[in-house]
Structure formats: C-alpha cells, structure tokens
Amino acid sequence: MPHTKSAKKRLRQSLQRRARNRAVKSALRTHVRKVLEAVQARDAARAETEFRLVAKEVDQAAAKRVIHPNKAARVKSRLAAKIRVLKGKPPRPAAANPESSGS
C-alpha cells in the first residue's frame, strides 16, 4: 500500500481510470458482438445501424487512448468487410504497400 499522500492519490486515480477503461472496453465488445450477430442473422440493415454505433464508440475510445488507434481501425475494417460480403459485394483487395515489398 502507498505511504505518501501523492502515492495514495495516484492509487485512487488509477483505480478510477481502470474502472472507466474496463467499462468502455466492455461496451465496445458488446456492440461489436451485436454487429456480428446481425451479420450472422443476415440482417444487413441492422448490421449497418449497429456498425455506425460501433465506429463512433471505437473512435472515441481510441481518441481517449483506451484502445490503440490501430486496433480501432482494425475492428472497423473487419466489421465493414463482413457487412460488404453480407450485402453481396466482393471484399476489397488488400492495399498494396510499397514499403513492405521484399526488395
């Protein structure tokens, strides 16, 4: 346990942040699950509606650094790809990255 006054305050702050971050992550997982359930049920309209909510929440979590911005982009990309396939459109090809060429 902390002894100094400042260390006690830091402990209180970190516990509050941890609780807030866990709540945000839990809500994100719940909304992602709703999109996946809509995709599995072949309900494109509901999937798109839920996806808009997920995209907003994921972006907000990334802005607050609750999750990494790359993870936010990855989650949105994967969900968008699943919705594209559900709507009968072909999945987009992976972007050509000139930096990753093996030369």
Residue-range domains of the chain with CATH:
12-87 (1.20.58.110)
- Which whole number is the average pLDDT over 69-83? 96
User: DSSP letter at 42?
Assistant: T
65 three-state secondary structure: coil
pLDDT over 80 (residue 65): yes
92 or 15: whose pLDDT is higher?
15
The predicted pLDDT at position 70 comes to 97
For residue 86 the two structure tokens come to 């559900």
pTM, 2 dp: 0.80
* CB contact at 8 A, 80 and 92: no
